[in-house]
Amino acid sequence: MNEIVRKDAVRPAFDIKDYLRLDLMPHFMCPGCGHGIALRALLWATHELGIEKNQLAVVSGIGCSGRVGAYIDANTYHTTHGRPLAFATGLKLARPDLKVIVITGDGDCLAIGGNHLIHACRRNLDITCLMLNNEVYGMTGGQVSPTTSVNRLTTTTPAGNCEPTFDACKLAEAAGASFVGREVTRQAPALKNLIRAAMEHDGFSFVEVMSDCTEIYGRKNDLGESPEMILSQKADMRPEAFGNVADQPFRPNRLVTGVLAKQERPEYGRTYRARAALERAKKGR
């Protein structure tokens, strides 16, 4: 296990204020946004693992998800659109002593950043990637994203989205991610436990967090207020809700949560450093 994670550390009770930059409050997130729950789950897991603030590095991209990292009182890095995994790769190789977390969104990670995700999965560097999936570009106007459900309305699909939905977890597993999981924000303790397991994993871990965009996505599609959208996550997890695809035009596949894939593979950073040390030894350095 990575020495950064100290499971035997004696910790006081979790207080989220201990991990936030309170001078940046109030936060920018809309009422009912699921990203706040995801942030709490991440900091809760960090607290349980005993990771000190100076050992935690959070890298984020552009979008609502990208703004989340700014509130964490640790080493934070706000990068360009679609590139947080590329920046995080360089950071982790240069500073293997840090616990590196990437917070990204469905558009940031799967559209402009899709190629970086594939190769991060393939390399298996010890990074935890949290993809907050609210099915839309929420911050920049409500455009369609790679995970927008079929028939949903967005500013760029006024007649309804006709593109098939991208399954990020299947992509991550196929590309070689050694830990893949998914959870909904409605299940906050389960989400915390999944993020903790991902952070403890030695290798690249990918966690899709099913979040809700109440103001931009929810209103346009008449999905109700935050409580209604949260409760719909529970409905999506019921297998009996998906007996007839014709009756379920938006999500014809059951939403499976928890750890979806896990395997032991050589961690790229150690392999890279061992290869470099061998080359230096050959040259007598």
Q: Which residue bears the tokens 């699909």?
A: 157
Res. 3 pLDDT band, cuts 50 70 90 = low
* Three-state secondary-structure class, residue 157: strand
Percent of the chain with pLDDT strictly greater than 90 = 76
Is domain 16-282 in CATH 3.40.50.9100, yes or no?
A: no
Question: Under DSSP, is residue 270 helix (H, G, I), strand (E, B) or coil?
Answer: helix
**Terminal Cα-to-Cα distance of the chain (whole angstroms):** 30
DSSP state of 70: G
Instruction: Give the residue among 68, 122, 128 at the shortest CA–CA distance from 98.
Output: 128
pLDDT for 242 = 41
Return the pLDDT at 69: 92
Q: Using an 8 Å Cβ cutoff, are 66 and 39 in contact?
A: no
Given a contact cutoff of 8 angstroms between Cβ atoms, the answer to whether 129 and 206 are in contact is yes
**pLDDT score at 241:** 41
Q: Given this model, what pLDDT does residue 236 score?
A: 76
The domain limits of the chain are 16-282
Average per-residue pLDDT in the chain? Answer: 90
Span 113-152, pLDDT tens digits: 999 999 999 999 999 999 999 999 998 889 999 999 999 9
Give the pTM: 0.90
Query: In which element (H, E) is residue 209 found?
Result: strand 205-210
Which of 187, 61, 72, 184 is closest to 129 using CA atoms?
Answer: 61
Helix ranges, 166-258 (H)? 168-175, 188-200, 219-220, 226-236
